[in-house]
């Protein structure tokens, strides 16, 4: 199963696959989530943010993306999500990586990050 990640305009840009992967719209691996902590990493295991309550936040606590069911007391107004493309979920073939220990999560802010979702994992 997967859920779409929407950018600040409500455009579906990436999918969170429940085996911990984050894929771009072309099914390229761009990142992973340490499910137990919610820490978000690039594909080369660089810690870049946090995923909690349907919100992807950068390391400053600002929102980068949201899911359709996002719910948090500290979040900006969310746009109506556009209808995502009908892309089947890929087969799970990921061995769980050894995630490095992340820093402590920052205070969450009800603001959008200056880094757009399309460049977040660069």
> Average pLDDT of the chain?
94
pLDDT at 96 over 80: no
Closest CA to 56 of 5, 122, 121, 4: 5
Express each pLDDT in 25-78 by its tens digit.
999 999 999 988 999 999 999 999 999 999 999 999 999 999 999 999 999 999
Buried b (16+ CB within 10 A) or exposed e, 83-98: ebeeeeeeeeeeeeee
Q: Which band of pLDDT confidence, cut at 50, 70 and 90, is reported for residue 93?
A: low
Residue 117 DSSP code: H
pLDDT at 97: 81
Distance CA 16, CA 50 (A): 13
The mean pLDDT of 92-98, rounded to a whole number, is: 74
**CB under 8 Å to 91, separation ≥6 — which residues?**
none
More confident residue, 99 or 6: 6
> Longest C-alpha distance within the chain, in Å?
36
Cα–Cα separations (whole angstroms), residue 120 to 47, 74, 93, 115: 11, 20, 24, 6
pLDDT at 73: 92
pLDDT at 6 over 70: yes
């Amino acid at each position: 199963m997967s859920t779409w990640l929407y950018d600040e305009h409500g455009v579906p840009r990436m999918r969170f696959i429940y085996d911990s992967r984050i894929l771009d719209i072309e099914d390229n691996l761009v990142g992973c989530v340490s499910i137990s902590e919610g820490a978000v990493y690039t594909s080369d295991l660089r810690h870049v943010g946090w995923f909690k309550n349907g919100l992807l936040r950068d390391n400053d606590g600002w929102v980068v993306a949201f899911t359709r069911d996002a719910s948090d007391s500290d979040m900006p107004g969310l746009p109506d999500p556009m209808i995502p493309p009908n892309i089947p979920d890929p087969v799970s073939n990921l061995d769980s990586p050894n995630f490095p220990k992340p820093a402590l999560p920052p205070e969450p802010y009800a603001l959008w990050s200056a880094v757009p979702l399309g460049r977040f994992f660069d």
